[in-house]
């Protein structure tokens, strides 16, 4: 079945450092890919998405490119801030109907990011 694997954390960085959080996936067909963020005590919220190969999603300085050849969707930010401290989740959703995966949304295990001043 479909699955998402994220780099193990936690990740600790100093302010203004470069961030990469790796995400790879296993899926049939051509899934849509997402990054969600969860701030302490809150539910998840969408950070960015990409719906087809070579698409780049971006938001709030974060970027991720849908790489079909490497089945990856790595999250990057050039200069992190203390306010970026949160848990980041990679997720996928199949975009073709069929079988039991119709509308299914699968998440990775999450990566805790802590940014120090």
Rounded to a whole number of angstroms, the minimum distance from the CB of residue 6 to other proteins is 8
Sheet with 19-21, strands from edge to edge, namely 19-21, 75-77, 62-65, 56-59
32 in helix, strand or coil?
A: strand
Which residues would be at the binding site for other proteins (CB under 8 A)? 1, 6, 32, 34, 36, 42-46, 49, 51, 89, 93-95, 97, 100, 102-110
CB of 17 to other proteins, least distance (A): 24
| Shortest separation between residue 80's beta carbon and other proteins, angstroms | 21
| DSSP 8-class letter at 97 | -
Considering beta carbons, is residue 10 or 78 the nearer one to other proteins? 10
Residues 90 and 73: their CA atoms lie apart, in Å, by 8
């Amino acid at each position: 079945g479909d699955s998402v694997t994220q780099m193990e954390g936690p990740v600790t960085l100093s302010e203004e450092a470069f961030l990469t959080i790796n995400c790879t996936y296993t899926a049939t067909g051509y899934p849509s890919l997402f990054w969600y963020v969860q701030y302490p005590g809150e539910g998840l919220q969408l950070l960015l998405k990409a719906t087809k190969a070579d698409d780049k999603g971006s938001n709030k300085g974060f970027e991720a490119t849908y790489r079909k050849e490497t089945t990856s969707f790595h999250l990057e930010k050039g200069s992190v801030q203390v306010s970026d401290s949160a848990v980041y989740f990679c997720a996928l959703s199949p975009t073709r109907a069929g079988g039991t995966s119709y509308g299914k949304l699968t998440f990775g295990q999450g990566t805790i990011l802590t940014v120090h001043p």
